[in-house]
Structure 1
Amino acid sequence: MAIRKIVHYPAEILEIECDRVEIFDKKLSKLLNDMYDTMIEFDGVGLAAPQIGLNKQIAIVDIDDEAGTVELINPVILDASGEQTDPEGCLSFPGVYGEVTRPNYVKVKAQNRKGQIYTIEAEGFLARAIQHEMDHLHGVLFTSKVTRYLEEDEL
C-alpha cells in the first residue's frame, strides 16, 4: 500500500464534477487500499479521490464503528431526511473547522470495488461523513456550507 499526497485548497481539482468509474479492476482495488491507508495516516474519517488528485467518483468512509470501511464508487443519494448540525473539518483544509447542517439520515446507492451495486443507509455521524465525501465528488466543499467557523478549542 502507498500513502498518497493530500491535495489542499485552492487546488482546482477540489471544485470539479468528477468522472464516473467505468473500469473495475486490480488498479481500482489498489487505489482503494491506498486511499484507506492515506485516510488513516492523516487521521481522517473519509477521503475522496479528488483529495489525492484524481478526477473519479470514488470515496471511502470509516468512522470506526460496526459499519466498517464504506467504499463508495459512483454514489447517488436516494433519500435523505432529518437534520443535524455539527462541526466538520477536512483533510484538504488543515486546521479549518466549521458548523455544517446536513440531513441526519441518508440512503445511498453505490458500487463496490467489484462493480456490484449496493445500497447503504446511515444516520448521524456516518451519514454526515458519507455526505461530506460525496460532496467532494461533485466539487462541493464543506466551507460552502459552514454556518459558523470554529476554533480548535471549540471542537
Structure 2
Amino acid sequence: MAASYSLDDLRYFCTIVKLGSFKKASINLGMSLSTLSRRIRLLEQALQLTLLNRDAHRVTLTHTGELYYDRYRKLFDEVECIEQALCDEKDQPKGKIRISAPIYMGKHFLSAIFCEFLLQYPDIQLDLRFSNNLIDIEKEGIDIAFRV
C-alpha cells in the first residue's frame, strides 16, 4: 500500500521535535506556521496515529511519536551527513588525473604548470606519463593527452 504522506512530512515532524516548537520549526524550514501545522495534521491522519501532544505553550511527543522520532531522526541525520559530504566533495576537487605528454613537452613546458596546479589543488593526484610513443588513450584511461 502506497503511503499518502511524504518524507518531507516526516522531516517536518522531526524538525518540530528537535526544535521543540512549531514556530521555531516553521522559521527553520522557511514555511508558514499554518502550512506546517496542516502538514503534520495530514501526516497523523495518513498514519492514523497521534505523534504530538499540543497545547498553547509546548509540544510533546506521544509514546508512538517517540518511536517514530527515534527511527526517523537517525534517517534524517544520515541524509544530512550525506548531503554535507557531497557538498564538501563538490567544493573541494579530489581524485586522480591521468595525463600523457611527449617527453620534451612535459619536461620543458608542462612541469611548471603541473607544479603550480598541485599547489593549488593538493587533493588531486597527477598520474603523469611522459612518452614519445603513440598510445591508445581510451585503453590506457588517459584523461588528458598532449601531442605535438
Query: TM-score interval w.r.t. the shorter chain?
Result: under 0.3
- Larger relative contact order, structure 1 or 2 (CA cutoff 8 Å, min sep 6): 1
Max Rg structure: 2
More strand by share: 1
TM-score (norm 2): 0.26
